[in-house]
Amino acid sequence: MKARIWLTGFEPFGEHAANPSQQLVEPILNSTRIHLLQPASAHALESESVEMTFSGMILPVDEAGSRLSIEHLQSVDAVVHVGLHENSEKVRFEMCAANVCDFRIPDNSGRQISGDFIDESGDALLHTTVNRSSISNVFSEYEAIIISEDCGRFVCNETYYRTLYSIKERCLQSKGQALPAIFVHIPSFTHVSAEVQLEILCELCAHIVQKL
């Protein structure tokens, strides 16, 4: 089967001279990869082989960057945002985004918000549109992965919330279901190598585009 993935990473921010999410994502943007699902995760899915075409961009770490993906959601089969979690030692699949900005440091535009809503008319919490139970089951034995309920309150969370809000408000779908969207927080490559993180990312993308 074929699938179109909207994939994003972020530019460096704060004290970071480089951002691993950019280093992970940028090399596969505007490329097509055929991924064979792991045998355990391929059970009862549409196809064990997925030809994935990756479009997307490296986002600036500011309000404008948090909005850039919205206009691209209608022409893809899934959305995966990737960002750095500087305190994590594992890859974190984020299950929800909170309707609040509470920045510990300024973003790259100099904006530093404390306790403001992302959207005053929005729900307090929006959940990923991927199938949570399926993802949890498929990746349960991966020691490098954890399921997270806290995407933080910085631009990563803001980006995720705006994407999920747009999917909900515009009723965007893929294969008769809500357009799959998820945020993946990654650690530095000293904790989980770039090769392992890329394999996890591709396995995730190939899984969430399946019709369950």
Report residue 51 as tokens. Answer: 């030809």
Contact partners, residue 56, CB within 8 Å, separation at least 6: 5, 6, 7, 8, 25, 29, 69, 72
Residue type, 153: R
Residue 38, pLDDT score: 75
Contact partners, residue 121, CB within 8 Å, separation at least 6: none
Tell me the C-alpha distance between 95 and 93, whole Å: 6
Tell me the C-alpha distance between 204 and 78, whole Å: 11
3-state secondary structure of 191: coil
Report residue 140 as tokens. Answer: 């349960």
Adjacent-strand bridge partners of 212: none
Residue 174, pLDDT score: 94
Residue type, 129: T
| Count of other CB atoms within 10 angstroms of residue 105 | 9
- Alpha-carbon Rg for the chain in angstroms: 16
Query: What are the Cα distances from residue 94, in Å, to 111, 162, 181, 186?
Result: 24, 14, 10, 10
**Which DSSP helix (H) or strand (E) runs through 158?**
helix 155-170
Intervals of the chain under pLDDT 50: none
Residue 40, pLDDT score: 59
3-state secondary structure of 48: coil
The dihedral region occupied by 201, where left means phi > 0, alpha psi between -120 and 50, and beta the remainder, is alpha
Report residue 102 as tokens. Answer: 């509470």
Residue type, 145: I
Q: Is the pTM of this model over 0.85?
A: yes
Adjacent-strand bridge partners of 56: 7
